[in-house]
């Protein structure tokens, strides 16, 4: 929900990170963090500093980061929050953006993760209910925070399966043997 795309009249609060998930490729364990997981969390208060610092640490120790629309959205949003908290850029890492791959190497009818998962029979995204879920999370509703965590987890698990399907078609894939 970017201000320029929606002609927002006033920004009440800058964009913040309320949840994030990460997983090492091929490993079973995934991590999902929401604001509600941190000590000192208060409903209605969006203090993302601890979460942003945790994500910074993950990126700082990563050689390759994978995501869908990663370069155009996630990394830029995270970089903005890193700047807000006066964090240096994480150590250099390569990115693999499966949205870019889908657009460059294929002619899918749609390129969103849900469509690709369905078409390639790898699964679907969880319906998160849209803005209502975000709104309920901001109110401190524990069930909504749980659903947010489930949504993030399903997203990265689906992303990993889509990546593995598309990887063999990538013409400029990072050499993982070197890493």
Distances (CA, A) of 158 to 21, 90, 115: 12, 26, 11
Residue 113 zone, left/alpha/beta (φ > 0; ψ -120 to 50; rest): alpha
* pLDDT, greater one: 9 or 92: 92
Q: Measured between alpha carbons, how far is 34 from 18 in angstroms, rounded to an integer?
A: 6
**Taking a C-beta distance cutoff of 8 angstroms, is the pair 140, 37 a contact?**
no
Tens digits of per-residue pLDDT, 135-164?
Answer: 999 999 999 999 999 999 999 999 999 999
**Taking a C-beta distance cutoff of 8 angstroms, is the pair 30, 2 a contact?**
no
Q: How many CB atoms lie within 10 A of CB 168?
A: 7
Q: Measured between alpha carbons, how far is 103 from 66 in angstroms, rounded to an integer?
A: 16
Residue 118, both tokens = 């369905």
| % pLDDT > 70, the chain | 93
Helix, strand, coil percentages in the chain from 3-state DSSP, rounded to 5? 45, 10, 40
pLDDT at res. 1: 46
Mean pLDDT across the stretch 109-122?
98
């Amino acid at each position: 929900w970017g201000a320029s795309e929606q002609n927002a009249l006033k920004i009440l609060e800058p964009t913040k990170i309320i949840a994030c998930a990460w997983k090492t490729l091929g490993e079973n364990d995934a991590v999902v963090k929401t604001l509600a997981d941190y000590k000192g969390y208060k409903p209605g208060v969006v203090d993302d500093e601890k979460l942003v610092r945790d994500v910074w640490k993950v990126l700082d120790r990563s050689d390759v980061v994978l995501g869908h629309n990663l370069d155009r959205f996630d990394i830029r949003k995270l970089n903005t929050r890193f700047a807000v908290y006066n964090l240096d850029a994480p150590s250099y890492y390569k990115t693999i953006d499966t949205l870019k791959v889908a657009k460059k190497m294929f002619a899918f009818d749609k390129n969103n993760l849900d469509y690709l998962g369905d078409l390639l029979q790898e699964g679907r995204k969880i319906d998160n209910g849209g803005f209502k879920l975000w709104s309920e999370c901001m109110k401190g509703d524990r069930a909504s925070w749980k659903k947010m965590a489930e949504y993030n987890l399903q997203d990265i698990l689906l992303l990993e399966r889509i990546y593995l399907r598309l990887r063999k078609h990538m013409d400029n894939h990072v050499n993982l043997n070197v890493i």
